[in-house]
């Protein structure tokens, strides 16, 4: 990534998808790593989709990059 703007991927919403912010600006609702990479590209931050999940510049809130679905009551990601 060129530059070091703060990138935040928020926890999954109740209906699925994760809000993506760069430098405080909401870029959109992502449903996959590819969506995050596309939002970053549109913001002028070129990043290989293969590196999005491990980039130290991205703050994954709540859960990691492997979870995109809606929250379920009483269940944690990966259980079920």
Backbone dihedral angles phi then psi of residue 39, each to the nearest 5 degrees: -60, -45
Cβ atoms of 36 and 30 within 8 Å: the answer is: yes
Cβ atoms of 10 and 61 within 8 Å: the answer is: yes
Q: What confidence tens digit (pLDDT) does each residue in 1-40 have?
A: 445 678 999 999 999 999 999 988 999 999 999 999 999 9
Q: What is the token pair recorded at 27?
A: 């870029």
Cβ atoms of 20 and 8 within 8 Å: the answer is: yes
Question: Alpha-carbon distance 20 to 41, whole Å?
Answer: 12
Where residue 71 falls among pLDDT bands split at 50, 70, 90? low
The reported pTM is 0.80
């Amino acid at each position: 990534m060129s530059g070091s703007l703060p990138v935040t991927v928020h926890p999954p919403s109740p209906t699925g998808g994760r809000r993506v912010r760069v430098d405080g600006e909401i870029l959109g609702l992502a449903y996959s790593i590819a969506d995050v990479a596309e939002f970053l590209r549109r913001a002028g931050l070129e990043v290989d989709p293969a590196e999005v999940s491990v980039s130290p510049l991205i703050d994954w809130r709540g859960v990691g990059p492997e979870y995109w679905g809606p929250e379920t009551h009483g269940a944690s990601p990966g259980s079920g």
